[in-house]
Amino acid sequence: MAHHIYRHLWLQTLDTYNVFIAELRRIFRDPGVMVIFIVATLAYPFLYKGIYWNEQITDIPVAVVDMSSSPESREFLHNWNATPDVKLAYSCVSMAEAEKLLRDQKVHGIIYFPHDFASQLADPFGQAHISLYCDMSSFLYMKGVYLSCNQVMLESMRNIQIDRYEQMGMDKEFAWTLVQDAPYTETALFTPTGGYGSFLIPAVLVLILHQTLFFGICMLGGTAREENNELYCIPGRRRSYSVLRIILGRGAAYFVIYYTLAVILLVGLPRLFNLPHIGQVGDIMQFIVPYILATTFFSMCVSVFIRNRESGMVLLISSSLIFLFIAGISWPKEMIPDAWRYLSYIIPYTSGAHGFIHLSSMGATLWTTRAEYYTLWILTAAYFITACLLLFATGWYNERRNASTETEEEQN
């Protein structure tokens, strides 16, 4: 009895190994799939890092409309121009002139001082106004102009408060104490540079793994159907007696390749690119396991419906931006409609991106990221079962169709 059980397990393991080897051969003999799996996966991160290499824009040209022409306005402009973010490129006599410069993209911001700016500052109960207009065609332009102006304004407000307290007869040291009663400290959490690249690229690295694996598996499925190869059969046999062995063998082939690539992208490249990487390497490597498995079985489920090689490209182009947005990375999750947000939970990328950012950029532990970690394991189990059912249904349908065709030919 034990001998028969051992022999049965050995044959199952051998069948799984044969599927594993056959799938690796299919991958490495297909130049298109190799380009997607290896070249694209390793090249895309460098492409994105090249685009976002300069995370902060300096010397942004701005226009000044100073209707006050007072020492106070000139001091404000001097302090603003001393920041690395902006450069006072034009001094205009009217808003119409400044607006034309903004439309022509010669400047990316306008600051306006009204006529009563100095007189309102001199009045102990007055309130001076400054108008700032930012170029919203680029987030980085708006961020640089707005934040630098805000910093200078806060510093100026503190000095104005001290002057007004002195005008009220207070001692300067006591006035300084009143101003410092509510000090503030600006701290950039998890992205010390405050750049857009440090914020976006970690999520893009996870998306690259998801989409290249997704596209490659769909290409393999489409190619097999174009060549009338039966993916539901064990190599060397006419029919399959265990879809489980086929799914495990093919999944193992993809996992071996992509776990290595994932370690390179999610552990090595953040250190090479100097991205935030304050998490534990062991936690990240452990988190990668369910992410690659969930993505693999999700892709295998979709590949069942792919009938030609080019269909995978259509799915890749149409889904990449959708996955990125509905995951709540580049757009706040609270602003996403409920239907799209619930849909995002069935995509492995959503939990993968949030979990990796928590682990690598924010220094979380695997336990504090357990919601995303357990979700990926649930998706792995769900998509594994679904892939088995879909492959079994496909094999059963094709075998019935082939048997019907053979019967018709015999009758003819």
- 184 assigned to some structural domain: no
Query: What does residue 331 show for φ and ψ, rounded to 5 degrees?
Result: -140, 135
Measure the CA–CA gap between 251 and 41, rounded to whole angstroms: 18
Tokens found for residue 33: 């799939």
Per-residue model confidence as pLDDT tens digits over 348-367 = 999 999 999 999 988 899 99
- Find the angle CA(249)-CA(252)-CA(257) to the nearest 5 degrees: 135
pLDDT of residue 174: 60
- 259 assigned to some structural domain: yes
In contact, 172 and 166? CB cutoff 8 Å: yes
Query: What does residue 71 show for φ and ψ, rounded to 5 degrees?
Result: -60, -35
- 351 assigned to some structural domain: yes
Q: What is the 3-state secondary structure (H, E, C) of 259-323?
A: HHHHHHHHHHHHHHCCCCCCCCHHHHHHHHHHHHHHHHHHHHHHHCCCCCCCHHHHHHHHHHHHH
Q: Examine the domain organization and report whether 166 and 124 are in the same domain.
A: yes
pLDDT of residue 333: 80
Measure the CA–CA gap between 127 and 122, rounded to whole angstroms: 9
Q: Examine the domain organization and report whether 261 and 406 are in the same domain.
A: yes
In terms of Cβ atoms closer than 10 Å to its own Cβ (0-12, 13-18, 19+), residue 295 is buried
Relative orientation angle of helices 196-226 and 2-28, to the nearest 10 degrees: 110
Full residue range of the structural domain in which residue 147 is found: 60-179
Of 179, 206, 223, which one is at a domain's C-terminal end? 179
Q: Examine the domain organization and report whether 122 and 210 are in the same domain.
A: no
Claim: this prediction has a pTM higher than 0.75: yes
In contact, 65 and 94? CB cutoff 8 Å: yes
Nearest by Cα to 339 from 328, 326, 351: 326
Question: Into how many domains does the chain fold?
Answer: 2
Q: Examine the domain organization and report whether 173 and 204 are in the same domain.
A: no
Task: Report DSSP letters for 53-111, one per residue.
Answer: SS-S--SEEEEEEESS--HHHHHHHHHHHTSSSEEEEEEESSHHHHHHHHHTTS-SEEE
Which residues, including other chains, have CB under 8 Å from residue 218's CB and lie 6 or more apart?
299, 302, 303, 306, 311, 312, 315, 316
Which residues, including other chains, have CB under 8 Å from residue 119's CB and lie 6 or more apart?
126
pLDDT of residue 254: 96
Bridge partners of 134, per DSSP, are 109
C-alpha torsion sign, points 398, 399, 403, 409: positive
- 341 assigned to some structural domain: yes
- 186 assigned to some structural domain: no
pLDDT of residue 223: 84
Q: What percent of the chain has pLDDT over 90?
A: 37
CA distances from 80 to 64, 141, 151, 154 (A): 11, 15, 9, 12
- 185 assigned to some structural domain: no
Task: Look up residue 334 and give its DSSP letter.
Answer: G
Strand 109-113 relative to strand 86-92, pairing: unpaired
Q: Examine the domain organization and report whether 24 and 155 are in the same domain.
A: no
Per-residue model confidence as pLDDT tens digits over 59-104 = 899 999 999 988 888 989 999 999 988 999 999 999 999 999 999 9
Residue 47 has a CB neighbour count (10 Å cut-off) of: 11
Per-residue model confidence as pLDDT tens digits over 257-315 = 999 999 999 999 998 888 888 889 999 999 999 999 999 999 999 988 887 887 777 77
Q: Examine the domain organization and report whether 218 and 172 are in the same domain.
A: no
What is the band of 126 on the pLDDT scale with cuts at 50, 70, 90? confident
Q: Examine the domain organization and report whether 200 and 76 are in the same domain.
A: no
- 188 assigned to some structural domain: no
Q: Compute the mean pLDDT over every residue in the chain, rounded to the nearest whole number.
A: 83
Task: Write the CATH number for 155.
Answer: 3.40.190.10
- 88 assigned to some structural domain: yes
